[in-house]
Structure 1
Amino acid sequence: MPYAAIDPLPAGGDGVLNVACFANQFADAQGHGLARYARELFSSLQELDCLRVTPVAGWSALSPDVLDARRREVGLKLTGLGRRGTSLLWTFLDFPTLESRLDARVDVVHAVSLGYPVATRKPFVVTIHDLGPLTHPEFFGNTRPWVMKRSLDQAVRKADAIVCVSQSTADEVRDYVGPAVDGRLRVVLEGVSERFFAPADPTLLAGLDLPPEDTPFILSAGAVSPRKNLHGLLSAMALALDSIPHHLVLVGGDGWDGGQFERMLETPALRGRVHLTGYVSDGALRALYQAAALYVHPSLYEGFGLPVLEAMASGTPVVSSDRTSLPEVVGSAGRLSDAANPETLAGDIVAMCNAGERRAKIIQEGRAHAARFRWPTCARAMAEIYREVSC
């Protein structure tokens, strides 16, 4: 069951817990995926009077001006060890400690994801989003599963609390590592930013590859990879497009395993009706959600699946895969589909596109469902965990 948050009780000398949150995504230019989790959680943690939170990264790929601005805005700290030094020293020597690299008091260290081991002697919290490279290597390319394995081994050995973003992930962790984590697993669900409930700026869509004006479109977000199952989505769309006037808009980077994907785009059934925007800004993504007639999330493996909630918050009906964490995230507010079966997925897409008078109710239920997932709730649960481990 999700971890039940209560009002956290401050601890420490001045009544405030000093938490160092480590995530290289704090110093990343892009804002999706783990970066969104790290930044949204940090922003909500900052609103709690019982905490003083410092974002920490091992290195930065940002330009000097942008890095300086981020330091001023959020107090970002770098370990000063560099990309290679941070990785090698922490992975193989467990030294120097993160807290020794900061010029501020640290009561708790929170590793926001399983990137690689984090050297610390402080009470330690780790968030696990998924174990995909270890449990489903067929869905992941260009990864270093041995690094995740070392980080997981450290979490099992040293973490005072292991936070999972869904019950599905918690079950996966327990199945993979066994009873060693019993009593330390916590489920803290992700949230949806308030921005997705507010009207977006449609002018941000200018210049993107989109269908002609007044042509309805189906949206899907995710890089090209077996896990995201965009090949399956294209197969389903090739079957569905004879029955609906919609186009398909795909948002995301190139990913890997793109050769077959590119060939599928040239098939007669899809030619001219699939549009690729590439990576887009958060503002453009919100505008795309709100402009879309339907959002489809065909992923075969997810640790959480935040885009389905972002789409619901934006007032867009959702068809989602029924795999891993997605049923618990989607609930009854979207249509769950066997996305590995193109015929089934195509039928569900056509049914949702032809919802007619039911569309307004579907949108209302989706927005109400998404509203149950809020970052302040996530932050309060995390603050209580910090309090627990610091005692």
Structure 2
Amino acid sequence: MTAEASQAGSPEDPAADGERPLRIALLTYKGNPFCGGQGVYVRHLSRELARLGHRIEVIGAQPYPVLDEGHGRLSLTELPSLDLYRQPDPFRTPARDEYRDWIDAAEVATMWTGGFPEPLTFSLRARRHLRARRGDFDVVHDNQTLGYGLLGDVGAPLVTTIHHPITVDRRLELEAAESRQRRLSVRRWYAFTRMQKRVARRLPSVLTVSGTSRQEIVDDLGVRADRVHVVHIGADTDLFSPDPSVARIPGRIVTTSSADVPLKGLVFLVEALAKVRTEQPEAHLVVVGKRPEEGPVAQAMRRYGLEGAVEFVKGISDAELVDLVRSAQVACVPSLYEGFSLPAAEAMATGTPLVATTGGAIPEVAGPDGETCLAVPPGDAGALAAGLSRLLGDADLRARLGAAGRERVLRHFTWARAAEGTVARYREAVAGSGAPVRPERPGPVSGRAPARPEAPARTAAAQAEARPDASSPARAGSSAPAGTGATEAPVSRSGAPAPTGSARTAPGLTAPAEVVDVVSDRESRATC
């Protein structure tokens, strides 16, 4: 047996639970692991599933997932969209020769009307791809696409993760909208949540990351409670760990905020910082995220004269992120709502004491006030300032909360536990469908898959070789030039091109009747 085959494991080797390994298709319409929770979820869950002995093929669109290296059972298949929101030209109009079929036309048309097309269009491409590869997978795991294309037969039992209902984001943004025009824009952008509600109600098995999210899914989406199962996610506790050699910087507060949206509550943290600095002038904030040029946060920074006291960092490596969190005296999660809060778990795992709101599922992660964190009401800048001042001024309290926080994460919130719980739900879905778990087919062994365009299914090691800088997160947001990789059809495991529908290359195409109402009903997009 070759070294590569030994690494991949024999098809007959049992998985960690003693049963036959599963062949898993893990779908993600957005996979950036450096911005937003969905990409982080796919990266860490896929790695731990591979460690348990299963074969995972991540199928994703731009920004493509970045998978951890060294796992022969883990590969990536790129299922490209038109990448309409890529930098530096978001909301771009594609060139005529970029259009491949009616799905591309629907994607552009939805963007033109102010909607967000990716959950729908990715689901349609994924269904086509999965049906062309019937028999290749034992289970399909959708990471919150919730698109019409995933209803019906996708070639294997379907399990879906809903981190939290996006209807919560929609509600909070509508409440924060200051004009009728802004409210109309928010309604158009979040029109896809109508589809997600309809799809969610028809799903046989839903996973979610917290009890709070479970209740929101039942209440907001109307999913039957007996179909929703909690599998907590967690932190990479090997990476996010204490390191006494990293010095704590006096007055440093660190937070993560990937976007200037009301949900994240960053504006309240900026206001709180202004209050803290009246008594502790060395207090300063480092935000892991993009600096907003306009909007509530930028306005608050100017109003309180905090431009020099708030620093934004982005594009940093995992190691740099961990050291940044370790260097802070206090970590803060100021969100109005979170379905779980990975930043809270990761900060606690480093032993950095936490001030967090009680929004959404944050208390499930952060634990009791005064024992593993300091908890404050969401949207209350005064309470947030009081908590920050208390921690910054009390070294003994920081040490006690930091140690208790790490212990809590180790007990409850690790990716290994998440993978084990997820596999149990996979096996329930397979058993409930009556479909047997088939023996693994001989597939491409790590490092032996042909290069694109013949086969886009790639191992994690092959991804690293393809990146200009394998250690840099910049790859997650990169895109193929128009007319090259972005328009190539996916290829099945056998090497034969998967069906791609009508091979037209111009807009103005007619969609099948089952989704025509979704892509053409502008009135519903403006009023949903």
- TM-score normalised to structure 2 length: 0.62
Aligned pairs (5 A) from 1:77-92: 77-79=77-79, 84-85=103-104
| Shift, 1:246, TM fit | 1.6
RMSD: 3.3
| Shift, 1:240, TM fit | 1.1
The separation in 2 between residues aligned to 1:74 and 1:91, in whole angstroms, is 21
For 1:173, the equivalent position in structure 2 comes to 217
Aligned mate of 1:357, from 369, 373, 396: 396
Counterpart code for 1:252: G
Count of residue pairs brought into register by the alignment: 363
Q: In 1, are the aligned partners of 2:250 and 2:329 still within 8 Å (CA)?
A: no
1:147 matches 2:192: yes
Give percent identity, aligned residues only: 25
For 2:55, the equivalent position in structure 1 comes to 52
Aligned pairs (5 A) from 1:118-137: 118-119=149-150, 120-133=154-167, 136-137=170-171
Aligned mate of 1:221, from 256, 275, 295: 256
Q: In 2, are the aligned partners of 1:29 and 1:61 still within 8 Å (CA)?
A: no
The separation in 2 between residues aligned to 1:172 and 1:309, in whole angstroms, is 21
For 2:380, the equivalent position in structure 1 comes to 341
The separation in 1 between residues aligned to 2:284 and 2:82, in whole angstroms, is 45
The separation in 1 between residues aligned to 2:75 and 2:211, in whole angstroms, is 32
| Shift, 1:148, TM fit | 3.5
CA gap of 1:95–1:337, structure 2 versus 1, over 3 A, is closer
CA gap of 1:214–1:76, structure 2 versus 1, over 3 A, is closer
CA-to-partner distance for each residue in 1:109-131, whole Å, 9 max, x for gaps? 00022363443242110000111
1:247 matches 2:287: no
Counterpart code for 1:166: S
CA-to-partner distance for each residue in 1:18-43, whole Å, 9 max, x for gaps? 111101344x4745421111110000
For 1:156, the equivalent position in structure 2 comes to 201
For 2:409, the equivalent position in structure 1 comes to 370
For 1:206, the equivalent position in structure 2 comes to none
CA gap of 1:152–1:281, structure 2 versus 1, over 3 A, is farther
Q: In 1, are the aligned partners of 2:270 and 2:300 still within 8 Å (CA)?
A: yes
1:23 matches 2:28: yes
Counterpart code for 2:285: L
Q: In 2, are the aligned partners of 1:22 and 1:56 still within 8 Å (CA)?
A: yes
Counterpart code for 2:295: G
The separation in 2 between residues aligned to 1:55 and 1:360, in whole angstroms, is 40
For 1:39, the equivalent position in structure 2 comes to 43
For 1:297, the equivalent position in structure 2 comes to 333
The separation in 2 between residues aligned to 1:322 and 1:154, in whole angstroms, is 30
CA gap of 1:343–1:61, structure 2 versus 1, over 3 A, is closer
| Shift, 1:101, TM fit | 4.3
For 1:307, the equivalent position in structure 2 comes to 343
Q: In 1, are the aligned partners of 2:209 and 2:231 still within 8 Å (CA)?
A: yes
The separation in 2 between residues aligned to 1:70 and 1:389, in whole angstroms, is 29
For 1:383, the equivalent position in structure 2 comes to 423
Aligned pairs (5 A) from 1:320-335: 320-332=356-368, 333-335=372-374
The separation in 2 between residues aligned to 1:364 and 1:144, in whole angstroms, is 42
CA-to-partner distance for each residue in 1:238-273, whole Å, 9 max, x for gaps? 111122222111121246x93332232223553422
For 1:76, the equivalent position in structure 2 comes to 76
The separation in 1 between residues aligned to 2:244 and 2:156, in whole angstroms, is 42
Aligned mate of 2:227, from 170, 173, 184: 184
The separation in 2 between residues aligned to 1:42 and 1:201, in whole angstroms, is 31
Q: In 1, are the aligned partners of 2:273 and 2:283 still within 8 Å (CA)?
A: no
The separation in 2 between residues aligned to 1:351 and 1:249, in whole angstroms, is 19
Counterpart code for 2:226: G
Counterpart code for 2:235: V
The separation in 1 between residues aligned to 2:349 and 2:418, in whole angstroms, is 17
| Shift, 1:187, TM fit | 0.3
CA gap of 1:46–1:355, structure 2 versus 1, over 3 A, is same
The separation in 2 between residues aligned to 1:221 and 1:139, in whole angstroms, is 19
CA gap of 1:135–1:359, structure 2 versus 1, over 3 A, is closer
Secondary structure at 2:240 match in 1: helix
The separation in 1 between residues aligned to 2:383 and 2:354, in whole angstroms, is 15
| Shift, 1:200, TM fit | 10
Q: In 1, are the aligned partners of 2:64 and 2:78 still within 8 Å (CA)?
A: no
Q: In 2, are the aligned partners of 1:8 and 1:387 still within 8 Å (CA)?
A: no
The separation in 2 between residues aligned to 1:155 and 1:267, in whole angstroms, is 43
For 2:299, the equivalent position in structure 1 comes to 263
CA gap of 1:93–1:73, structure 2 versus 1, over 3 A, is closer
Counterpart code for 1:249: V
Q: In 2, are the aligned partners of 1:224 and 1:258 still within 8 Å (CA)?
A: no
Counterpart code for 1:296: C
Secondary structure at 2:263 match in 1: coil
Larger Rg computed on CA atoms: 2
For 1:106, the equivalent position in structure 2 comes to 137
For 2:240, the equivalent position in structure 1 comes to 196
Q: In 1, are the aligned partners of 2:131 and 2:155 still within 8 Å (CA)?
A: no
Secondary structure at 1:266 match in 2: helix
CA gap of 1:71–1:62, structure 2 versus 1, over 3 A, is farther
